[in-house]
Structure 1
Amino acid sequence: MVRALARSAAAAACLVGLFVWLGWALDVMVLKSMGAAMPVMRPGEALGLMLGGAALGLRLRRDVSRTRHWLGTVLAWATAVLGAASLVDLVLTMGSGGLDALFLRLLDDEGLTQPGLTTSPLTSLCLLLLGPALALLDRGGEARLSWPDGLVSLTLMAALLGLNGFLLGPLGTSTAAPFFFFQERSMGLHTTCVLVLLAVGTLCARPDQGLMARLTRDTLGGFVARRLVPVTLLGPPVLGLTLVLMHLSGTLSHDAKFPLFATVVAAGGATLVLLAARALDLLDSERRKANSALEASEARFRTFLDTAPDPMVVVDASGRLRFANAEAERVFGFRREALLGREVELLVPEGLHGPSPSGPPRATGGRLVTGRRQDGTSVPLEVRLSPLEGAADATLIAILRDVTERRELEKLREEYVGLISHDLRNPLSTINLRAHLLQRALHERKLEREGHMAQAIIHNVEWMNTMIEELLEGSRLESGRVDLRRESRDLGRFLEEVLERDLPPDARERFRLHLEAPLPPVPLDAARLERVVTNLLTNAIKYSPQGTPVDVRLTTVHEQAVVSVSNQGVGLSTQDAAHLFDKYYRTEDGRSADGKGLGLGLYISRLIVEAHGGHIWVESEPDRGVTFFFSVPLEAVAAAPGAASPRQRAG
């Protein structure tokens, strides 16, 4: 509504100015004035309205072209220059020559001696003030008043002074003629109305800053101002117009006009006060209801936190504890009264966001830290952070889960997987050896059919060995106890070697390697990172049409080396893309293409990349191909929990 009012003001100013010029050009009195007894608008004033309206129309939007912005600024300053020239003309010639005489000669009019032609200094003053306000429209602040607001406010006061002089002047005289100091200097009704509308439209052009921001803001002050300001500004003119019309119709005597005006103004003021009081009462009632609901919700929330089975604390933006539940008291040994207001490092010395001593972030979304009890003993914890909805600052809820038992279980699981894998590898090695001997004997006896059966046994033994190795590697990476054997390598040369060494010759020609400018050496565990790259390359071949190219790119983003592998396959659904790196997850196409996999390849790739301090992700749309990305730091750093990937930071 505010922006529509600004557009209407710009259009009205241009149209009124244009009609007045047409009236002077065609000598039509009804276009020059609102009536025979009303003052006539001079050509210079009409031109000023057209310039101001055009400047407002061009400056309504911030994202206009430079040409429109420049043209609007020029027209705004032209409005100010015209207003200043009109004031000087009024002082020097008393309105009998100067600019208006020049305009009338151009229009071939009879001159400035026409009856009803007046010059009001308020009109020129309004144009002089509006010009800079329109030119400086974007200089206002969001929360404070600015020069444009001050200039527009002065313009509005000057225009209302002319309007009130026109409408309220007859209250003090026995006639209904317009009155402002003296009649020949009165503003026309259409002039005052358009100037008021143009001043309001200038304020509405930027409703998010300055004075208009205070009026439109969803606050108590804005609520009251929106109801009182329009009534206080427009109430007296409307009342004066009503009384003048009643006097002209003969229903109101001259002696009764002023007492009636004063009585109505007093009654109106009292009504406004009562309406404001009622609005404040309604707002106060809503505030009390909201506070009651908030207190009830907070009580339920605290009850929920207090009965939670895990230690939970609330930490404010400065890192101080604001709440601790009963389980936190039990685990750490502190009474909650002793914890409130203390820094969170009292419970977690390295902090909730500090480096994890136990490796990369957990696959479950939490991260391992070491807590400290009141007696000084340590306790292993898994931390999960969640922002507190509705909090004014960056308040967090931290769930501190005691993972002592889980660590014991993980240790047992790792030992169990290791024992089982060792026990499986011995018979598999024997089976593999005997199968090779059998295949050789069958080949010597030229038993081709039986030789193919022996080859199938060897292939399945190799597949089982691969699954055992994936289980062992996944278990080692999950435990966070893997020591990476880092060495500084040229990552571009490393990718070339993997393409040459790990791909069959018939598939190698499908790959196109794109390298950025030479990068500094990257510290990496070559054997493990080769496993990641090979996994992505073989997937690209497996799930893309035969003969289509596969692009491998190496770039740098925010001190990270980023490798991408893009194919032209059918793409992934949103659900598959979200879970592709989860443990044991396989897509429908993956299950149909290779029924032997466990769904650990991409999961292990994710753990390897995160162990390097990097990230791995996928971008895909159905029928638009798939692009896998992974990043590793250019310098050896520990994995940073919660850090955004280069793709996320690059936007």
Structure 2
Amino acid sequence: MVRALARSSAAASCMVGLLVLVGWALDVMVLKSMGAALPAMRPSAALGLMLGGAALGLRLPATPGLFRHRLGTALALATALLGAVSLVDGVITGGNGGLDALFLRAFGEQGFAPPGVASSPLTALCLMLLGPALALVDRGHPQRLSWSDALVALALMAALTGLNSFLLGPLVTPAAAPFFQERSMGLHTTCVLMLLGVGTLCARPELGLMARLTRDTLGGFVARRLVPVTLLGPPVLGLTLVLMHLTGGLSHDAKLPLFATVVAAGGATLVLLAARALDMLDTERMRATAALEASEERFRTFLDTAPDPMVVVDGAGRVRFANAEAERVFGYRREALLGREVELLVPEGLHGPSTAGEGPERAAGGRLVSGQRQDGTSVPLEVRLSPLEGEDDATRIAILRDVTERRDLEKLREEYVGLISHDLRNPLNTINLRAHLLQRALHERKLEREGHMAQAIIHNVEWMSTMIEELLEGSRLESGRVTLRREAHDLGRFLAEVLERDVPPDARERFRLHLADPLPPVPMDAARLERVVTNLLTNAIKYSPKGTPVDVRLAAVHDHAVVSVTNQGTGLSPRDAARLFDKYYRTEDGRSQDGKGLGLGLYISRLIVEAHSGHIWVESEPDRGVTFFFSVPLEAPSAPPESQPLRQRAS
């Protein structure tokens, strides 16, 4: 609304100034006076309004172009110069010649003696003040009043003086003179000058005086309601009394006493209105404070009853709050923790180096650290930091989760993995060896039917071995204790070798490898990443029509290498695409084509890629094929990357 007022002020000043000049050029009185009953505006004043309005219009954009900025400044200075010359001319000639006579000669008229047009220095003074204010409109400050604000305030006071003189003069005039007789400034001149001054303030509502008026504070709230009434109340009251006098409803002797009484009553009313506004604001403040206190109490209750140890730490690293679970885990009473450094609980600090490996805990944002109880014993903790809303940026909530039970479960899982490795794989190896020997003996005796039965045993043993290997690999990756053997590899050559080595010869011609510009060597565990690529290639063959091509692409996206495998299959539903990398999840199509799988292939692929600090995802629509993507960083990262934005960029 403020910016719209500034634009309207610029347009109105230019329009009024232009129409008055056209009226003088064509000798049309209704244009000179902007109304049949008003006195004519002087040509110099009209030109000043047009220059000032144009300067305001050019300075309205916050970042105007260089030409627009310079032209606006030039017009503003021209407005100030015109006002200064008009002021000197009025002092020397009394306003009956000089500058305005020059304008009339330019219009083809001789002399300057328009009836009823008295000279007023206030118009020239306003133009002389508004010109520099327009030139300095960008020099304001959000917190302090500027020279531009001071100049505009003086110009508004001068224009308001003319307005009050015009409207309140009849209050003290004993004779009933014609109401629209000019006494100091014309009514239209005064109104347009005030509008131009207000527009200059509104040109930069974020700076200076206008910033204080538009600010959502107590001072701005009161000022927006009292300033317009204070400035415009007396002129409106004077106009009302004069009109009542001219219509015979009020005697001359009663005008001034009545004016003083109403002004006094109005002042008292303004004070009462301000007091009421302050009371309303204070009531809202107390209500908001009570709601905030209740919210803080609920928040503290939530923290205090949380099942995990929680502490609130300020920017200096001191504990501001600790819940009951923190008391239980660390052995300190919370009163003893308040104001103490957080290193008392976590000696290496909340931001210290993590002891976690390259596992899912690290990828999920948790950090494993060692805490210290009051009795000196250590406790394994997972730390998660969250900013505390409404506080300074350095205040954090630290969730310190005791992972002792998790450590015990991981130990049990490792024992379980060892059990599988020793007690299941060894018997299977024995069965596999004996089955091969049996098959050879049956082949020598030419017992083909029995030989096929032995081959079925071998096939099922290999299937069981594959499932056990998938269970072992998934368990190792889930534990977060897998050490990647990173070596720099040419990823393009690596993909070509995998296609040559792991794709069956009868299906190899279906694959088309597309390589972008040469990439730098990628640090990766080649054996594990080969498992990911082979899994995606095998799925592409299995779930796409025979003879259709499969495109394998390699490209660089920012600091990651992105590999994609696209097939022309039936596609995936949104539900399947969202859960495809979950543990044990299999699509309906997958269960129908291969009933022996466990649904661990893509899950293990996800764990391998995430262990490389990469990301894997799928894009598909029903009946439009499927594209699998995975990304790995071009350099070994020191922290988990933000993989979701990369997914958006690659797709």
Cross-structure match for 1:465: 465
The CA distance in 1 between the partners of 2:265 and 2:24, in whole Å, is 44
The CA distance in 2 between the partners of 1:453 and 1:196, in whole Å, is 105
SS of match in other structure, 1:385? strand
The CA distance in 2 between the partners of 1:318 and 1:247, in whole Å, is 73
Contact 2:77 2:132 in 1 (8 A): yes
Cross-structure match for 1:214: 212
The CA distance in 1 between the partners of 2:9 and 2:608, in whole Å, is 65
Contact 2:76 2:135 in 1 (8 A): no
Cross-structure match for 1:630: 631
Could you list the per-position Cα deviations for residues 105-157 of structure 1 after superposition, in whole angstroms to 9, with x for gaps in the alignment? Answer: 44445553222345544434444444454455455444444454444334333
The CA distance in 2 between the partners of 1:432 and 1:302, in whole Å, is 63
Contact 2:557 2:646 in 1 (8 A): no
Gap change, CA 1:149 and 1:176, over 3 Å in 2:
farther
The number of aligned residues is: 638
Cross-structure match for 1:87: 84
The CA distance in 2 between the partners of 1:474 and 1:399, in whole Å, is 28
Cross-structure match for 2:353: 355
1:276 aligns with 2:274: yes
Supply the RMSD in Å over aligned alpha carbons.
Answer: 4.1
The CA distance in 1 between the partners of 2:244 and 2:444, in whole Å, is 126
The CA distance in 2 between the partners of 1:482 and 1:72, in whole Å, is 65
SS of match in other structure, 1:398? strand
Residue 71 of structure 1: which of 68, 75, 83 is its match?
68
Gap change, CA 1:621 and 1:649, over 3 Å in 2:
closer
The CA distance in 1 between the partners of 2:98 and 2:448, in whole Å, is 116
- For residue 49 of structure 1, what is the amino acid of its counterpart? L
Residue 515 of structure 1: which of 514, 517, 535 is its match?
517
Gap change, CA 1:214 and 1:479, over 3 Å in 2:
same
1:290 aligns with 2:291: no
Q: How does 1:195-594 map to 2 (within 5 A)?
A: 195-360=193-358, 362=361, 366-430=366-430, 432-433=432-433, 461-491=461-491, 493-495=493-495, 497-498=497-498, 501-503=501-503, 506=508, 509-515=511-517, 519=520, 521-535=521-535, 546-547=548-549, 549-557=551-559, 561-565=560-564, 567=566, 581-585=581-585
Gap change, CA 1:484 and 1:266, over 3 Å in 2:
same
- For residue 328 of structure 1, what is the amino acid of its counterpart? A
SS of match in other structure, 1:481? coil
Cross-structure match for 1:41: 41
Contact 1:17 1:50 in 2 (8 A): yes
Cross-structure match for 1:112: 112
The CA distance in 2 between the partners of 1:469 and 1:218, in whole Å, is 66
The CA distance in 1 between the partners of 2:304 and 2:597, in whole Å, is 45
How far the C-alpha of 1:354 sits from its partner, in A, is 2.9
Gap change, CA 1:319 and 1:539, over 3 Å in 2:
farther
Gap change, CA 1:382 and 1:246, over 3 Å in 2:
same
SS of match in other structure, 2:379? strand
Cross-structure match for 1:647: 646
Gap change, CA 1:178 and 1:334, over 3 Å in 2:
farther
The CA distance in 2 between the partners of 1:371 and 1:317, in whole Å, is 20
- For residue 340 of structure 2, what is the amino acid of its counterpart? R
Structure 2 length as normaliser, TM-score?
0.83
Contact 1:536 1:628 in 2 (8 A): no
Could you list the per-position Cα deviations for residues 26-50 of structure 1 after superposition, in whole angstroms to 9, with x for gaps in the alignment? Answer: 3222222255664422334334433
Which range is displaced more, 212-221 or 326-335?
Answer: 212-221
Gap change, CA 1:305 and 1:527, over 3 Å in 2:
same
How far the C-alpha of 1:428 sits from its partner, in A, is 3.8
The CA distance in 2 between the partners of 1:23 and 1:449, in whole Å, is 118
Cross-structure match for 1:188: 186
Cross-structure match for 2:615: 616
How far the C-alpha of 1:219 sits from its partner, in A, is 1.9
SS of match in other structure, 1:510? strand
Contact 2:3 2:202 in 1 (8 A): yes
The CA distance in 1 between the partners of 2:403 and 2:524, in whole Å, is 30
Cross-structure match for 1:14: 14
The CA distance in 1 between the partners of 2:576 and 2:196, in whole Å, is 58
Gap change, CA 1:325 and 1:74, over 3 Å in 2:
same
Percent identity, please.
73
How far the C-alpha of 1:274 sits from its partner, in A, is 1.0
- For residue 216 of structure 1, what is the amino acid of its counterpart? T
- For residue 553 of structure 1, what is the amino acid of its counterpart? A
Contact 1:48 1:79 in 2 (8 A): no
SS of match in other structure, 2:356? coil
Contact 1:140 1:146 in 2 (8 A): yes
The CA distance in 1 between the partners of 2:54 and 2:79, in whole Å, is 14
Cross-structure match for 2:2: 2
Could you list the per-position Cα deviations for residues 632-651 of structure 1 after superposition, in whole angstroms to 9, with x for gaps in the alignment? Answer: 262x45435x8677739999
How far the C-alpha of 1:323 sits from its partner, in A, is 0.8
The CA distance in 1 between the partners of 2:48 and 2:227, in whole Å, is 27
1:171 aligns with 2:168: no
How far the C-alpha of 1:609 sits from its partner, in A, is 4.1
Could you list the per-position Cα deviations for residues 215-266 of structure 1 after superposition, in whole angstroms to 9, with x for gaps in the alignment? Answer: 2222222211211122122222222222332333333333333332222222
- For residue 614 of structure 2, what is the amino acid of its counterpart? H
How far the C-alpha of 1:595 sits from its partner, in A, is 5.6
Contact 1:165 1:178 in 2 (8 A): no
Contact 2:117 2:182 in 1 (8 A): no
Could you list the per-position Cα deviations for residues 424-443 of structure 1 after superposition, in whole angstroms to 9, with x for gaps in the alignment? Answer: 33344355556666777888
Gap change, CA 1:324 and 1:544, over 3 Å in 2:
farther
